[in-house]
Structure 1
Amino acid sequence: MRILSLASLLLASLAAGCGHVPLTSLPKLSKIDIRTTDLSQLRAGISLPADVRPLPGGVTMTIVAMAKDGGRHERKAVLEEVRDAVELASLPVLAAPGRRFTLFKLSPADAAHLGVFREEMFAGARNEGNRGSLSLGADKACRTGEPSATPITMTGYLKTSETQDYVLLMRDFDLTAAARAIDPKIDLATAIPPCEGLPNSPLTAPRA
C-alpha cells in the first residue's frame, strides 16, 4: 500500500482534462508540443508557504507516450533547483509576502535522455498518431516550523520554449483539503516532517 504524502499530489498536468488549470492559461499551454518543445528551456516554479520547502529530488517531470495501438510508455526525471543568480534575478515577481518560490529545471543529462525517448516514441511515420502528455509532481517536502491549522496552498507555473514566459498552472490549490479528501485521518505533521535533520534537507549542511 502506498502511503499518502501531502506533497505527492499532482502539481500540474498538461494532459487533457486537468481540472485546476485556469482558463486564461489554456491558450498559451495549448501551444506546447510535447514532441518538440526544447526541454533545456523548461522551467517549473512552485510557490508554497514560506515554512514549507520542497526537498532535493522531490520534484519530478514525467513524459508519457500513448501509442496508437494502445501501448503506454513513460519516462520520469528528477528536476534540479535553479540556482543561477542571473536567471533568478530576471524572474518576474511570482510569490507574495509569506511565500517561498522555488524554480526547477531538467539537468542537461536528463534533458538529453528524455529527448531520446521522445525521438523513439514520436519521430517518423511509424509513430504518427501517437499522443503524449507531460506532468510535474512533487513528492518530498518538509517544514521549518510547527504544523499550522492554516491550509497549505500551492501555486504552480510552467515556462517552455513555446510560452516564453511563466504560465499559471494553478493558484492557491489547497493541498490540505485535497489530502484530507483522500484520507480524512491524514497526519499533516507526519506527511510534511520537520526539515531539520532530514537527509538532503535544505537546512542540512552537506558533508565535506
Structure 2
Amino acid sequence: MTRRLLLLPLLCAAALAGCGHVPVSTMWALRSFDATTVDPAQLRAAIRIPDTLEPQPGGVTLNIGWRREGGAPHEAKFILKETTDAADLAPLAAEKRPGTRIHAFRVELADIPKIKALQAQAIEEKARGGGKTHGSFGVGAEACRRGDLADGPLPMTTFLRVEEQGPYLTVLKNVDLRSLVTKEKSLDALVPACGG
C-alpha cells in the first residue's frame, strides 16, 4: 500500500485516497502549512494498521518535491526510521483500537541536513519568480502481512505531526486496503507476505 499526501498546494490531492478520507479538521489545521519551513527533526509520522500487518522494512518514506509550472519536477525520497520513544507514541494513545497497532516514524538524523538543503532550494526557486511553483510533501507507507488476512475490511489510518509540541493530525482515516485492489494489482501484491 502506498500513500502520498500532497500538502502543497492542495491537501485533497491525497493519492489513491481522495478527500473523503481526509478529515476536515486536518485540512483546516494545515491550511497555512508550509513544507519549506517545517523542521524535519520535529516531523513525526504514524500509521495504524491491523495487527496482522507490519510496516515493510524501509517501506515508510518521506517524499518531497517541487516544480515550476512548465518545468521539470525535483523529487526526493527519504526512508523514515521507526521510533519507540515514549514522547512520540504517548500522544497517539487515544488513537488505539482493538485489533490494531500503531507505528511511529521519524526522519533519520543523517537525512535532516539533506532535507533542509532541499527546503532552501525550493525557497530559492520560488524567489526567482517566473511562474507558479508547486510543492509536495508526503508520507508513503508499504506494509506486509504476517499470516493469513481475516475477512472483512483492512483499515489503515495515517497521522502526521509537524511540530514537536503539536498534536498528531489524522491524514487518511480508515482507508480499507481491500478497496485499493484493482485488476492490475491484487491484494497479495498490495500487501505481500512479510519476508517473502
Matched residues, number: 186
Distance 1:185 1:30, change over 3 A: closer
Alignment of 1:57-206 (within 5 A): 57-68=58-69, 70-89=71-90, 91-123=92-124, 125-126=127-128, 129-139=132-142, 141-161=143-163, 164-179=166-181, 182-183=182-183, 186=186, 188-195=187-194, 198=195
Distance 1:93 1:11, change over 3 A: farther
1:14 to 3, 7, 17: 7
Distance 2:129 2:37 in 1: 14
What's the offset of the Cα at 1:65?
1.0
Greater strand fraction, Structure 1 or Structure 2:
2
Work out whether residues 11 and 156 of structure 1, in 8 Å CA contact, stay in contact via their aligned partners in 2. Answer: no
Distance 1:91 1:151, change over 3 A: closer
Distance 1:76 1:185, change over 3 A: closer
What's the offset of the Cα at 1:88?
2.7
What's the offset of the Cα at 1:93?
2.1
- Cα RMSD between the aligned structures? 2.4
Work out whether residues 48 and 153 of structure 1, in 8 Å CA contact, stay in contact via their aligned partners in 2. Answer: yes
Distance 2:192 2:49 in 1: 15
| Matched position secondary structure for 1:41 | coil
Work out whether residues 12 and 156 of structure 1, in 8 Å CA contact, stay in contact via their aligned partners in 2. Answer: no
Percent identity of paired positions between Structure 1 and Structure 2: 32
Distance 1:11 1:151, change over 3 A: farther
Structure 1 unaligned spans of 5+: 1-6, 200-208
Distance 1:190 1:69 in 2: 34
Distance 1:163 1:13, change over 3 A: farther
TM-score by length of 1: 0.78
Work out whether residues 43 and 164 of structure 2, in 8 Å CA contact, stay in contact via their aligned partners in 1. Answer: no
1:181-205 deviations in whole A, cap 9, x for unaligned? x32772x34542333xx18xxxxxx
Distance 1:100 1:11 in 2: 21
Alignment of 1:25-36 (within 5 A): 25-36=26-37
What's the offset of the Cα at 1:77?
0.4
Which one is further off, 43-52 or 127-136?
Answer: 127-136
What's the offset of the Cα at 1:120?
1.5
What's the offset of the Cα at 1:11?
5.0
Equivalent position of 1:202 in the other structure: none
Work out whether residues 56 and 80 of structure 1, in 8 Å CA contact, stay in contact via their aligned partners in 2. Answer: no
What's the offset of the Cα at 1:160?
0.3
